[in-house]
């Protein structure tokens, strides 16, 4: 038998409220919340696209403007909490700044709630009976923080968020933030379709940003990362108490989390397909040099063989990895913590399996209707949908 949760849960994630979000998404979110009185509302990450702010330090003001643009969402959350229903926010990779006091204070102030209101921000994950809820990005190295219990900085943001903040936002390429393009060919083709004459400069900006991130992944970054890990570890005991788990169990979960991609130049280089990009450039350059330098043929042969081997090993070696890694992460959580059910978001793909439910993305559903998860008092989780309102 599953242990009973105190109240039924309403879990939503990946709403991605941003300056470009259609108003219908906020209205749909408000409708779902209003339709579930008596449920604890768990907003399980990436509800707010704070990665669209120019820098982490801009997050409080950016969140304030997002809430001002989303009056339906504010009213729905305020009413839900005012009726005595708990509202819990778990930061994701796009709204990691929610863990910071200035941002959390902005949220509470905009909701016009008293400090005693049942609304709070919980880092990393929450436990309700034998149900474990978190965003899931810590199991995706491309979007994982240095430590899930520490505040990050502009120097140590995950690869995916750094690209969003440094490339997607400045170039206005918001289409790519959640487009799930994983290979250079598909991304470049779409850039030319979407942006026409602007595409070459945008592509140049992308590679400039990517190279900067490779260069930055050195001793300075590792020094900052070490401080963040120490800061996170200092709070592990208090966090374990807040989720009613022994500190040793939380330590075991931490030990199972993969190393973030942005901690290694090699990992960044490979993840951004620079191996294929440079092999292509070398092949083209060597072939063009053959009439002048016959020995360049051997270079062209070697680089083209490397490129062919890379492509044969998989058109997109990373495309399905986040889903597989979150599935494996859910299995480890069940094994280490004795959870019966794990609820994630992050991948924008819905999953319903024994012991694991992923609610997908409320804003970017892959089937008609917007998905969310309801967990009954017995701990059983199911994905439900609300018909999307007209834009």
The mean pLDDT of 10-33, rounded to a whole number, is 94
Evaluate whether residue 337 is within a structural domain. Answer: yes
Q: Which of 27-41, 107-121, 195-209, 306-320 has the lowest mean pLDDT?
A: 306-320
Evaluate whether residue 110 is within a structural domain. Answer: yes
Evaluate whether residue 179 is within a structural domain. Answer: yes
The pLDDT value recorded for residue 307 is 46
Evaluate whether residue 203 is within a structural domain. Answer: no
**Other CB atoms closer than 10 Å to residue 168's CB: what's the count?**
23
**Other CB atoms closer than 10 Å to residue 256's CB: what's the count?**
16
Confidence label for 315 from pLDDT (cuts 50, 70 and 90): very low
Instruction: Give dist(CA 365, CA 186) in Å, integer.
Output: 21
Q: Which domain holds residue 134?
A: 9-193+216-266+318-386
User: Under a CB-based contact definition with an 8 Å cutoff, are residues 73 and 67 in contact?
Assistant: yes
The pLDDT value recorded for residue 268 is 81
Evaluate whether residue 303 is within a structural domain. Answer: no
Evaluate whether residue 208 is within a structural domain. Answer: no
Evaluate whether residue 172 is within a structural domain. Answer: yes
Confidence label for 34 from pLDDT (cuts 50, 70 and 90): very high
The pLDDT value recorded for residue 180 is 46
| pLDDT at residue 357 is higher than 80 | yes
Evaluate whether residue 129 is within a structural domain. Answer: yes
What does pTM read for this prediction? 0.86
3-state helix, strand and coil shares in percent for the chain, rounded to the nearest 5: 50, 10, 35
Confidence label for 174 from pLDDT (cuts 50, 70 and 90): low
The model's pLDDT over 246-277, given as tens digits with 9 standing for 90+, comes to 999 999 999 999 999 888 888 887 777 665 55
Q: What's the CATH number where 77 sits? A: 3.60.21.10
Element (H, E) at 62: helix 59-69
Which one, of 342, 326, 340, 345, lies nearest residue 44 by Cα?
345
Q: How many domains does the chain have?
A: 1
The mean pLDDT of 302-307, rounded to a whole number, is 57
- Of residues 167 and 47, the one with the higher pLDDT is 47
| pLDDT at residue 166 is higher than 80 | yes
């Amino acid at each position: 038998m599953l242990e009973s949760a105190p109240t039924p849960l309403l879990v939503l994630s990946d709403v991605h409220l941003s300056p470009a979000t259609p108003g219908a998404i906020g209205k749909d979110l408000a409708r779902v919340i209003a339709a579930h009185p008596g449920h604890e509302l768990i907003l399980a990450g990436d509800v707010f696209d704070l990665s669209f702010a120019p820098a982490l330090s801009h997050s409080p003001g950016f969140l304030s403007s997002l809430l001002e643009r989303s009056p339906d969402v504010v009213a729905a959350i305020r009413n839900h909490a005012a009726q005595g229903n708990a509202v819990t926010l778990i930061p994701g990779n796009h709204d990691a700044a929610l863990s910071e006091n200035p941002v959390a204070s902005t949220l509470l102030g905009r909701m016009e709630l008293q400090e005693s209101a049942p609304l709070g921000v919980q880092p990393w994950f929450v436990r309700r009976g034998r149900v474990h809820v978190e965003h899931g990005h810590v199991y995706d190295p491309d979007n994982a923080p240095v430590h899930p219990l520490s505040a990050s900085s502009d120097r140590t943001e995950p690869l995916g968020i750094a690209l969003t903040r440094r490339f997607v936002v400045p170039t206005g390429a918001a289409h790519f933030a959640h487009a799930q393009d994983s290979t250079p060919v598909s991304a470049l083709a779409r850039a030319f379709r979407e942006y026409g004459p602007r595409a070459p400069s945008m592509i140049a900006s992308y590679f400039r940003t990517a190279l900067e991130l490779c260069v930055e992944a050195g001793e300075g970054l590792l020094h900052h990362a070490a401080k963040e890990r120490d800061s996170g570890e200092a709070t592990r005991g208090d966090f374990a108490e807040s989720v009613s788990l022994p500190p040793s169990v939380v330590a075991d979960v931490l030990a199972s989390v993969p190393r973030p991609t942005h901690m290694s130049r090699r990992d960044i280089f490979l993840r951004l397909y620079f191996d294929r990009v440079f092999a292509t450039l070398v092949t083209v350059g060597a072939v063009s040099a053959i009439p002048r330098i016959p020995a360049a043929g051997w270079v062209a042969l070697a680089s083209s063989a490397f490129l062919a081997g890379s492509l044969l090993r998989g058109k997109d070696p990373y495309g399905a990895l986040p889903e597989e890694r979150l599935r494996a992460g859910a299995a480890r959580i069940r094994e280490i913590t004795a959870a019966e059910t794990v609820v994630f978001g992050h991948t924008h793909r819905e999953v319903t399996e024994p012991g694991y439910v992923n609610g997908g993305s409320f804003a970017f559903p892959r089937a008609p209707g917007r998905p969310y998860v309801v967990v009954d008092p017995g701990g059983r989780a199911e994905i439900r949908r609300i018909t999307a309102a007209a834009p």
